[in-house]
Amino acid sequence: MRIGVVVDATCDLPPEFLAANNIRVMPIGIRLGERRIIDDRDPETTLRFYSQDLPKVGPEDGSEPLNAAEVQNWFLDQLVTDFDYVICLTVSSVRSPIFENATQASFGLLQNYRERRAAAGINGPFALRVVDSQTVFAGLAVLAAEGVRLLAEDQHPNAIRTRLEQLSEQMNTFLVANDLGHIRRRGFQKGDRSSIGDRLRGAFLGIGSMLDMKPVLSLVHGEDKPVSVSPNYEKSAERLLNFARARVEAGELLAPHVCLSYAGDPSALRDLPGFDALEQSCLERGIAVHLAMLSPTGGINLGAGAMSLSFAAEPKPFA
């Protein structure tokens, strides 16, 4: 059986990892004034977005996920002849319509895939299961990396899907924004308070704008809240990296991955205080550290220099 893993473009894994493990990326449109670019985790497109487009984004710019019909067409074109069983991981359903659209598309696919597979000379059924990651950015990356690891162990796809659904309840995802001015300038989209951007902007500005501080934002169990406030970005990042290292050294991770992403060149993460110690602790314990660019969906809402960090573990108070 040919088993595949699919993620949407908010999944912050490095392009080399995606390619090496044949992880397919469901694209997301990014509206920039009269232009529309496609985010499919292409590194050149993402770097160009950060260097040329992000400084000029306005409050009306934002991400535009595929609708259900577009997702179904993408499934037909990209998946049904290459795989027999697909696990599709999406960004949290409370933050984006991607999960709902992919689920609707998977139902419609049942009526259409046989003809496409027959034309390609492929016999047998095709199955696609959509999993709500209940997280974002680096958190989605942790689940995808774990799915690939379990596939390499030849586990049954139903068992893998069940395990990923269990882990989605234990995701610890954190964000640190470096440019609260960008977040203030973007404001809120009228009538769209439940969007991923508005939820995150509201949580950051609720404390950071008043104090001119840099909060660490926790996204755990669907709740967005500041868990730490520092006078500068480096100190907030250091506190977050040290917290992650403590969880690693306590042996509390439920999957051997720590994922980090950055709104810009991710090599900048290596210059942050606390990164080297975290990486060393992970190396000593066989835990993979994945560095990637933050998706443009994240960058357009959080601004340049924002970072995301995630791991799977029983949630504990930030300290």
Phi and psi, residue 6, nearest 5°? -120, 140
Q: What average pLDDT does range 144-167 have in this prediction?
A: 96
Asked if 61 and 300 touch (Cβ cutoff 8 Å), the reply is yes
Look at residue 40 and tell me whether its pLDDT is greater than 70.
Answer: yes
Region of 97 please: left (phi>0), alpha (psi -120 to 50) or beta.
alpha
User: pLDDT class for 188, splitting at 50, 70, 90?
Assistant: very low
User: pLDDT class for 198, splitting at 50, 70, 90?
Assistant: low
* pLDDT 10s digits, 213-271: 788 999 988 788 899 999 899 999 999 999 999 999 999 999 999 999 999 999 999 99
What pLDDT does 59 receive? 82
Burial 44-65 (b: 16+ CB within 10 A, else e): eebeebbeebbeebeeebbbeb
Look at residue 197 and tell me whether its pLDDT is greater than 80.
Answer: no
Closest CA to 93 of 226, 173, 196: 196
Q: What average pLDDT does range 57-73 have in this prediction?
A: 92
- Domain 3-168: which topology? Rossmann fold (3.40.50)
Look at residue 190 and tell me whether its pLDDT is greater than 50.
Answer: no
Map tokens 């059986």 to a residue. 1
Residue-wise DSSP of 81-137: TT-SEEEEEES-TTT-SHHHHHHHHHHHHTTTHHHHHHHTT--S--EEEEEE-SS-T
User: pLDDT class for 180, splitting at 50, 70, 90?
Assistant: confident
What pLDDT does 194 receive? 46
Which CATH number does the domain 171-312 belong to among 3.40.228.10, 3.30.1180.10, 2.70.98.10, 3.50.30.30?
A: 3.30.1180.10
224: exposed, middle or buried (C-beta count within 10 Å: 0-12, 13-18, 19+)? middle
Look at residue 209 and tell me whether its pLDDT is greater than 60.
Answer: no
* Domain residue extents for the chain: 3-168, 171-312
What pLDDT does 192 receive? 41
User: pLDDT class for 181, splitting at 50, 70, 90?
Assistant: confident
How far is the C-alpha of 45 from the C-alpha of 64, rounded, in Å? 16
For a pLDDT cut of 70, what percent of the chain falls above it?
91
Q: Based on C-alpha coordinates, what's the Rg of the chain?
A: 19
Look at residue 128 and tell me whether its pLDDT is greater than 80.
Answer: yes
Look at residue 210 and tell me whether its pLDDT is greater than 60.
Answer: no
What pLDDT does 189 receive? 42
Look at residue 137 and tell me whether its pLDDT is greater than 70.
Answer: yes
Mean pLDDT of the chain: 91
Asked if 207 and 218 touch (Cβ cutoff 8 Å), the reply is no
Asked if 139 and 131 touch (Cβ cutoff 8 Å), the reply is no
